[in-house]
Structure formats: structure tokens, C-alpha cells
Amino acid sequence: MLYAVFGLFIVVGVLLTVGEVLRIRRCSEPAKARIVGVERSGDLAKYGLSKAKYYPKVEFSVQGKTIRAIADIDSVFIGAFQEGMDLDVRYNPADPEEFILRRGFFPKRLIGSVLLIVVGILGIVL
């Protein structure tokens, strides 16, 4: 039974990793983006975490159309993202609202999915 649970970790981790790698590959077109705001999440202090998380709201242009969206990165530090800060993004030409930041930010989803695989393998081996 325990092997099945760890096996499930591996399967889910592989599926999530493949999905994230495909998302990264879909986002092939470069663009310059600018942080136009910072979104604040709810209060997490009751869980022993920082009081809030901050997400940059970015804006960039694709063929004359302005895309404004919240990036899928966050920080617990209020000053991590400053309005007016320029960022490099790569967007999906078929769906420009799907984008990734190019440098300096590693996708959390990829870290989590690889961690599931590692935990699953360690659980089976040990």
C-alpha cells in the first residue's frame, strides 16, 4: 500500500513536470514587460507564515494588444516587486495571456513537481 502512495507521488510529479515543461516550450516569443502594480494576497499569519504574499502585475504589448496579467511568482517581501521595474517575458503566441518570466525566476510549479518525484523515489527506495 505504501509503495502505491509513493508510486502515485512519482506519477503525479512526472505529469506535472511534463505539463510545466510543455508550458515553458509554448511560451516561445520574447517581450519586454513592466510591473504596473503589485497584488497582495490574504493574511497567512495564522499559519505561521508571512502576513501576505505579493504578486507582480505586469503589462506588455503583443501585436498592438496590451496584455495585463498577474505573474505566477510571489514574494513575502513587500519591496521585492517595484512598479516601473522592467522584466523580460516569453509568451505563448497562440495565447499571449500565458507567459513566463525569462530570467532570475524559477517556476515554483516545476520545483514542486520535481520534489514529488524525489519524495516518491526516496519513499520506495528507503
The 10s digit of each residue's pLDDT in 87-106 is: 999 999 999 999 988 765 56
CA distance 8 to 14: 10
16: enclosing H helix or E strand: helix 2-26
Q: What is the 3-state secondary structure of 76-97?
A: CCCCCCCCCCEEEEEEECCEEE
CA distance 89 to 97: 11
For 19-70, how does the pLDDT look when each residue is reduced to its tens digit (9 = 90+)? 888 988 999 999 999 999 998 877 655 565 556 778 889 999 998 999 999 9
- Nine-digit cell string for 48: 505561521
Report yes or no on whether pTM surpasses 0.85: no
Any idea what DSSP says for residue 110? Answer: H
pLDDT score at 105: 55
